[in-house]
Structure 1
Amino acid sequence: MTDNNRLQSLAADHLEHFDFDFGESGMMILISDTAPPKVKDMVKSVCGSCNQDSLVQIYEALNAVVESDNPDCCEIDEKVCGTDVYCQLIKYLKKR
């Protein structure tokens, strides 16, 4: 398995544990109640907290990794996820 495929597989494994809540105040991204602790640990390690802003950024970054031909240099919507968060996520995944 190439390094890119391994990163994409890890990102996809983490994405499986994100849920959406469509409440009265709009859509929110949540970590599933059944998610292993490693998912929340990843968010905290990369973003410093598990608040809604962090979850949105991580969700966007994980999707970008999964959809990219080359996760090391893919386009990311900086209005949703800063490049610093994306780079931290790539470093985190590469250590796994």
Structure 2
Amino acid sequence: MSKFSELINSDQPVLVDFFAEWCGPCKTMVPILKEVASQVEGKARIIKVDIDKNPAAASAYGVRSVPTLILFKMGKIMWQQPGVTDAFKLVGIISQYE
């Protein structure tokens, strides 16, 4: 989990998508997150964490359902939401913390 800690401690916003391969709504988020990534390129990072392969990270942040999105900046949680969220909202939230 040290690489994960390194990433979320960035001074740039980092949106973490906690997901699972078997999760239908998580698959819905894939094109949404690609759109967000293209709009925030160079200003924020988006990383995906598979909860089945990284249960410690999911547990550490109280992830109880997937998808769960958490926005970090300098290691602190700035925003968190379970479920599917649209690209427009995500870009707006990320831009508040650039």
TM-score surpassing 0.5?
no
Higher helix proportion (structure 1 or 2): 1
Q: TM-score range by the shorter chain?
A: under 0.3
TM-score (norm 1): 0.28
Larger Rg: 1
